[in-house]
Amino acid sequence: MTETTGQVVEARGVSKWFGETTALDAVDFTVSPGVVHGLLGPNGAGKTTLLSALFGLVLPDEGTVRLFGRTRAEAGPGWLDGVAGFVETPRFYPYLSGRRNLAVLAGLDGGDAASLIDEALERAGLADARGKRVKGYSLGMRQRLGLAAAMLRRPRLLILDEPTNGIDPAGIRDLRTALRRLARDGVTVILSSHNMTQVEEICDAVTVLHQGKVAFAGRLDAMRADAPDPVWRLRTSDDAAAREQAKRTTGVKAEGRDDGGLVVFAAQDRLDDYVLTLARDGVAVRGLELDVTPLESLFFQLTGEPGDRPAGPPGRERPPVTEEPPVTEEVP
Amino acid sequence: MTLAADRWPAYPEPAPGPSGPGGPGGPATRTGPRSGTRTVWRLELAKLRGQGRVRAIAAACLVGPFVIVAGLNVQSATPGDTAFGQWVHTSGFAIPMVILGFGGQWLLPVGTAVVAGDIFSAEDHFGTWKTILTRSRSRRELFAGKFLAALTFATAAMMLLIITDLLAGLLAGTQPVAGLGGQLVPAGHATELVLVSWLSVIPPVLGFTALAIFASVASRNSVIGIGVPVVLTLAFQVATLIALPAWGQQVLLSTPFTAWHGFWEQPAYVGPFLYGLLTSAVWFTLCSAAAWLVFRRRTIGGAS
């Protein structure tokens, strides 16, 4: 009898090489029941390879992967029972309609999956396009069909690789709501993304991958505690005076921007004090907006992805990789 | 068109099955039938029915022999360089044999390759391996189901062609036909020989099916999957023109397509047919095993 830890996903020391390229380097990845777990990382970090390993599409060169406490060898053909989702863009037979594609997949699943097809299409907002050939579907419609295909399996673990690709803002909002509802009903969701903001809005826990290694793993609130100050864009009537005032204000750092205005690193409460002081000094605030959230700042630090964002104030050290504590409480 | 977010609670659990219910947080019961190969096979056949090329081949098998009979009726020339070619205007039984003589060289290997050479690589082309391998079917079940579907198509197409060939021949006339030994074969026996001759080419057709599947699996490319059997057919034709030793001729997968000649000799002999059966079995086994070995550990998708 295999000893299980109660984790839905438990990957230990997973490594995968493609020729000279190290896609995964001794990755530990655990996901607790009933949470929405974000898998973050820039392009090429190893997210898709890890998700592929969970599905058995990629066989690890080292390490073990357990789903619901069982390795693939222990579980046999039923290893993916209760597991659904997609890796990269969901792909279907273009010469078949959306409904016919789902019928093929339901046929593979067996049981009563076929009876769920129309309901799944309606949930995915594809009821009107059910008879249309998939080759005429947009990227967003294929993503929706991928979600519908996943729901046919009554998943207890839903694995979604960049599910918002091609989906419009309203669709993203709806997907966020849908995933929260699924998690509330006990479904564990793994969501990969390179968008920290998106993950921040929906996930309970997160694993950040960078160059095939785990750069951070833990609860999102733990990540927030490690995060640096947010970054703000500030425009004033007198930027020189505003910079001088920042030097005199504790917890506030301001730098000039190449295109005018200031970049300010400060926590919310410190920023409030700073803005009030500027007003008292006769410096008008003409614009103030959040540029980089704390978690985004941390993400950029962890992954060394400067993008077009400031790297953050000097002196902040990268937080250590932490073992994710089991998440056992109810998800609200 | 938006997601119906308010309708996304998890589906209720199905009733507990014989293998036990899936508890909260645990895996759901496997709802599919355990006979996964049969399930995949049936679905693959359904997918094949939806493909235009499959319908075109079926239509060609259905009406092709009748078109050939009609074509022969409007011209006086005969395909004299083919076995039975000189008798096409005197006996309907010669027509299916002429078609078999020509078809065995080209049409049958190409016909089966068009489907078998694409049945695996089409999943690569459409990127759908990831879709079907994330369901509750193992690679073994998917491989076996697809393999059997390709064999089923090849056999079904052959059976259809046998029936329509014979019917077209009977329509053209039921006069006795001259055998390859010069003997006159009466209608009843000729019917039997036509059927047996056509059935004798099913083993090499299945050999070419396995060859096309191997090419399809190994290359992940339908053009190569279909092209390799076609090119090899051409190579075999060239090889038969050079002075190969007898064993060299025997190992060619094209040789069993002419084994039926012995059935029409006087006296009849079956040695070439038995050798052809062995040759086809060896090609079939080697190609099938190689295809499975390549498929079972392949990486689906790539690093990112």
CATH number at residue A272: 3.30.70
Residues A59 and A177 in one domain: yes
Per-residue pLDDT of A26-63, as tens digits, reads 999 999 999 999 999 888 889 999 999 999 888 899 99
- Supply the pLDDT for residue B6: 64
Nearest CB to B11; choose among A88, A154, A175: A154
ipTM of the complex: 0.73
Tell if the pTM clears 0.95, that is, is over it: no
Answer whether residue A278 shows pLDDT above 60.
yes
Q: What is the mean pLDDT of residues B74-82?
A: 75
Structure confidence at residue A123 (pLDDT): 85
CA dihedral angle for residue A276, residue A282, residue A288, residue A290, rounded to 10 degrees = -40
DSSP class of residue A173?
A: H
Q: What is the mean pLDDT of residues B104-120?
A: 91
With an 8 Å Cβ cutoff, are B4 and A123 in contact?
yes
Residue among B188, B183, B192, B182 at smallest CA distance from B97: B192
State the pLDDT at residue A4: 58
- Same domain? For A95 and A46 the reply is yes
Is the residue at A317 inside a domain? no
pLDDT exceeds cutoff 70 at B104: yes
Residue B111 to chain A, least CA–CA distance (Å): 21
Q: What share of chain A has pLDDT > 90, as a percent?
A: 45
Q: CATH no. for residue A117?
A: 3.40.50.300
* Residue B48 neighbours by CB under 8 Å, 6+ apart: B54, B115, B119, B149, B153
pLDDT > 70? residue A178: yes
Give B303's pLDDT tier (boundaries 50, 70, 90): very low
Shared-domain flag, residues A119 and A235: no
- What's the average model confidence in pLDDT over B295-299? 83
pLDDT band at B13 (very low <50, low <70, confident <90, very high): low
Residues of A in contact with B134 (CB under 8 A): 55, 57, 80, 83-87
- Between B237 and B158, the higher pLDDT residue: B158
Q: What is the pLDDT of residues B162-185, one digit of tens each?
A: 999 999 998 888 888 888 888 888
Domain end, chosen from A225, A242, A262, is at: A225
| Contact: A186, B39; criterion CB under 8 Å | no
The structural domain count of chain A equals: 2
Q: Are both A207 and A237 inside the same structural domain?
A: no
Chain A partners of B1 at a C-beta cutoff of 8 Å? 125-126, 128-129
Contact yes or no for A144/A167 (Cβ under 8 A): yes
| pLDDT, mean over chain B | 85
pLDDT tens sequence across A93-121 = 998 899 999 999 998 888 788 889 999 99
Mean pLDDT to the nearest integer, B37-46? 91
- Average the pLDDT over A265-285 and give the result: 92
In this prediction, residue B222 carries a pLDDT of: 94
Q: Tell whether A308 is covered by a domain.
A: no
How many whole angstroms separate alpha carbon A89 and alpha carbon B231? Answer: 36
Share of chain A above pLDDT 70, in %: 90
Cis preceding linkage at B267, omega within 30: yes
Q: What is the pLDDT of residue A305?
A: 64
pLDDT at B240: 83
User: Is B55 an interface residue toward A (CB < 8 Å)?
Assistant: no
Q: A301: closest CA among A176, A153, A167, A196?
A: A196
- Band (pLDDT 50/70/90 cuts) for residue A330 is very low
Kindly report which listed range (A129-138, A311-320, B197-206) carries the lowest average pLDDT score. A311-320
Strand partners, A234: A262, A288
Q: Is B297 in the A-facing interface, judged by CB distances under 8 Å?
A: yes
Q: Let me know whether A151 and A58 are in one domain.
A: yes
Residues of B in contact with A76 (CB under 8 A): 138
B126 vs A contacts (CB less than 8 Å): 91-94
pLDDT digits (tens, 9 = 90+) for B122-156: 999 999 999 998 887 888 999 999 999 999 999 99
Judge if A186 and A98 occupy the same domain: yes
Mean pLDDT value across chain A: 85
Whether residue A314 has pLDDT greater than 50:
no
Rounded to 5 degrees, what are φ and ψ at A65?
-125, 125
Instruction: Give per-residue pLDDT as tens, A82-94.
Output: 999 999 889 999 9
- Look at residue A307 and tell me if it is in a domain: no
Contact call for A153 and B28, based on CB within 8 A: yes
pLDDT at A275: 94
pLDDT band at B270 (very low <50, low <70, confident <90, very high): very high
- pLDDT in the model for residue A198: 79
Whether residues A28 and A53 share a domain: the answer is yes
Provide the pLDDT confidence category of residue A273 given band limits of 50, 70 and 90: very high
Give yes or no for residue A325 having a pLDDT over 80: no
Q: Is the pLDDT of residue A320 over 60?
A: no
Of residues A195 and B139, which shows the higher confidence score? Answer: B139
Record the tokens describing residue A283, joined without a space.
């410096």
A51 in a structural domain = yes
B270 vs A292: which has the higher pLDDT:
B270
Over residues A53-75, the mean pLDDT reads 91
Tell me the average pLDDT across B187-211: 95
Q: Which of A193, A225, A257 is the last residue of a domain?
A: A225
In Å, how far is B50's CA from the nearest CA of chain A? 8
Domain segments of chain B: what residues?
35-296
Same domain, A219 and A239: no
Structural domain ending residue among the three candidates A292, A312, A327: A292
- Reported as a pLDDT band with limits 50, 70 and 90, residue A165 is confident
Give the position of tokens 């995933």: A179
Which residue segment(s) compose the domain that A139 sits in?
Answer: 9-225
Answer whether residue A55 is part of any domain: yes
Position B225, amino acid: G
Q: Is residue A313 part of a domain?
A: no
Q: Is the pLDDT of residue A312 over 60?
A: no
Q: Provide the chain B residues 30-49 that lie in CB contact (below 8 A) with chain A.
A: 30-33, 36, 39-40, 42-43, 46-47
- Give B304 or B52, the one with higher predicted confidence: B52
